[in-house]
Amino acid sequence: MKYIGVQEYVTCREGDVRRLPFGDNYFDVVVSAVFLHTVGKEYGQKTVEAAAERTRVLGEAVRVLKPGGVGVLWDLVHVPEYVRRLQELRMEEIRVSKRVTAFMVKSHMVSFKKPSQHFLGPGEVRLDWRC
């Protein structure tokens, strides 16, 4: 970091993406670039277990995002799965880009905003983003 002049703004931490080493509502912005699809690969990419692991990691990204914060995911596959999970987690302003070609592979970017407040309606329960 010192070579590119951002060491006073950036801190690197090692941790498990399934249990991020940060408190709830910690970041203003969360970004994942061509990574999320690799989570759970030890189970095989198209298995229920791998999808559950990706869902858990996406929940962690939402958990550490401050209310009103913005998340951006750039990935190669599983974009509809990410959108469904973000909808389940009641994220706002979910947007999917047109196809982006990078590294000779087609991909998409998904952006979303964590609600500033969540009002519970009749019969509604508070969601735990760690699921």
Each residue's pLDDT tens digit, 76-96: 888 999 999 999 999 999 999
pLDDT (tens digit per residue) in 29-52: 998 988 888 888 888 878 899 889
pTM exceeding 0.85: no
Residue 110: closest CA among 131, 130, 127, 91: 91
